[in-house]
Amino acid sequence: MNLPLAELHVHLEGTAPPALIRRLADRNGLKVPEGVFATPEQFRWVDFLDFLRTYDLAASVIRTPEDYRDVTYEYLVGCAREGAIYVELIASPDHAANVGLSDADHYAGIAAGIDDARRDTGIEARILVTAIRNFGVEAAVEIARRQAEDRHPYVVGFNLAGDEAGYPPAQFREAYEIAAASGLGCTVHAGEHAGAESVREALTLPVTRLSHGVRAIEDPALVAEIAERGIVLEACPTSNVATHVFPSYEEHPLRKLHEAGVKWTLGSDDPPYFGCSIGGEYAVARERFGFEEGELRSITRTAVRASFADDAAKATLLNRITASDDRGDH
């Protein structure tokens, strides 16, 4: 299968594999406990809280614009190798601020990685800024306000990650209203580690997508509403199985959501933590959920149309998909 891929859900700090984290730690004179590394490609963790600790530990060695450039570049080049033409990278200003980086330096590093990857592979990418629930409502409002006042041209969207159950989405309404009013596309983590009620509440925000959202399956009326409104789910099936949101691919609701008319895309979430990649997620969709190549091409089109890129970029990407159809890439 050789088809164009697109990814709307991947956390930038969560893309760096152990080999790169070791390299950045050495560059910055830092030590990372060897126990968190399972292989050069994959991290070791035992439960969701341990995953979060390992993630924060690894992210803490990404310290400079050059580091962010390298993380971005290496991830995008790997995606392009698998056939990806577009990626939206979820970036956390809070993680950057924790190591003393300003928004300007943070985004400059990511943008350099995007530019270099485009030059070398043709892949396109944009940035989704995410607030972290656990840091509180005011911190989220401040992040949204900063983007509204001085936005990097590659920043196209606003997201909210972190502890879903402890910090329901409606608490962050002000941040979302600021982000949406400034022209940012909006999505929100919901329906992953909290149930259908978190999805229903998320839909009261000005969002056109849901990060995960798959536990909407617990409420058939909610599934019908999502389908009717054309809300697009950023599905990450391997992540969901790895973090025990669902016990197996067989019990994951992706096929049921599809049959109910829900639009969806694929994402790897945090690839070296879950042993996956965007190409791997497309393979999972084919091999474990039974989607055919034509359906997966449609999923890539859905991702481009649901992306927060500008209309000109979307048109270029859709033309690339059509060109691959015409070539008969299989």
Task: Judge whether 192 counts as a catalytic residue.
Answer: yes
Conformation bin of residue 328: beta by default, left when phi > 0, alpha when psi is -120 to 50: left
Q: Which residue in the list 7, 13, 88, 192 is annotated as catalytic?
A: 192
Question: Under a CB-based contact definition with an 8 Å cutoff, are residues 235 and 215 in contact?
Answer: no
Report the relative pairing of strands 185-186 and 189-190 from DSSP bridges.
Answer: unpaired
Catalytic residues: 192
